[in-house]
Homo-oligomer: A and B are copies of this chain.
């Protein structure tokens, strides 16, 4: 995953254009995703697909012809979606087009102007301070023209047509945590799921932030009713603890599942309530859409100093944090997949576990083992109404011993899975 992030790092992505296409092409080598192009001008709910932006070069030269700001050194140097410019300007005229971070003088900020035609450069504040009152040659060799917006989609059918939707954004240029980390983890997750069967169908969408999810939702309205759970997976490579932002419901199955997984093993983590600011969960959780979808990050947007600056580079993320995030995603999907209703075949009093070799033969000791305890909890709650998740929540036990207990009891014929359609009849 870290290798994929490293490979994608230099590409200048945006909400449209060839940088995104190049990124999706790399992903296509790993998973057979379908690439969609939506023409500029297409109405998508209250929005319109914007013109396509591409950039070849950009710089500011001083009067000695030296590039004092150079897009070739970092894709962050140009305000994303800047219109083409060729001009000679004195510093006072140029100054309003320059963005820097006085509180972090060594870092280049990341700025965008998607929906208002303008142009600008971003540079380290310490470099800004060295600019003298010179005449500068300014060049942004970009194009902003009718074209299309690109997103990738990969569908893995399961044994039912109920879907789990995973979304990650592809629009940021050379920023590692935001969001090459998300792209890498989600790609790996898709590879894992493609290699094994599943109860749910899975749909992975790689699209630009905001306009990407709006476009996808606008074109897939009839499909939304099949989506049972969703997750936006982004910013999962920094060293902060895993952080889950609840869905607008607050107590959806996905919210409860993630909470169980994150608290297992005593791992440091944070759970935060939904709020209408952040990433694409804003669109999936808008009042008319209102999907049960939460967001998994490590440190959330805006809460780490390197956020949206050149310091969000390949040093901020690591193979270990990516792996831990991937592992958490896998466990979340495992609980979702196993979250069935269970019913005891011997519901009156406890069944005699000893005669089936499931319980210690000598009695009188002080404590019961974790294995026996999990067996007793599963049996006690297996009244046909409780799902595995309910059992995890009530018992306080961790997912793994509870899976093992369920499997042992199913094999012993003491437990059966309640078919989902039977449940609906009740």
Which chain B positions have C-beta within 8 A of A347?
286-289
Asked if A307 is at the interface of the complex by the 8 Å CB criterion, the answer is yes
Which chain B positions have C-beta within 8 A of A110?
364
Which chain B positions have C-beta within 8 A of A42?
none
Which residues, 351 to 407 on A, are CB-close (under 8 Å) to B? 351-352, 354-355, 361-368, 373, 376-377, 379-383, 395
- Contact A112 to B348, CB < 8 A, known contacts A287-B381, A287-B383, A376-B276: no
Which chain B positions have C-beta within 8 A of A307?
366
Which chain B positions have C-beta within 8 A of A228?
none
B115/A355 in contact, CB under 8 A: yes
* Separation of A217 and B346 alpha carbons in the complex (Å): 14
Q: Report how many copies the assembly holds.
A: 3
B348/A45 in contact, CB under 8 A: yes
Asked if A321 is at the interface of the complex by the 8 Å CB criterion, the answer is no
A288/B349 in contact, CB under 8 A: yes
Interface size on A, residues (CB 8 A): 62
Which chain B positions have C-beta within 8 A of A45?
346, 348-349, 351
A289/B379 in contact, CB under 8 A: no
Which chain B positions have C-beta within 8 A of A382?
287
B349/A46 in contact, CB under 8 A: yes
Asked if A12 is at the interface of the complex by the 8 Å CB criterion, the answer is no
- Contact A46 to B380, CB < 8 A, known contacts A111-B363, A115-B354: no
Which chain B positions have C-beta within 8 A of A381?
287
How far in angstroms is the closest Cβ of chain B from A401? Answer: 14
* Separation of A191 and B248 alpha carbons in the complex (Å): 43
Asked if A23 is at the interface of the complex by the 8 Å CB criterion, the answer is no
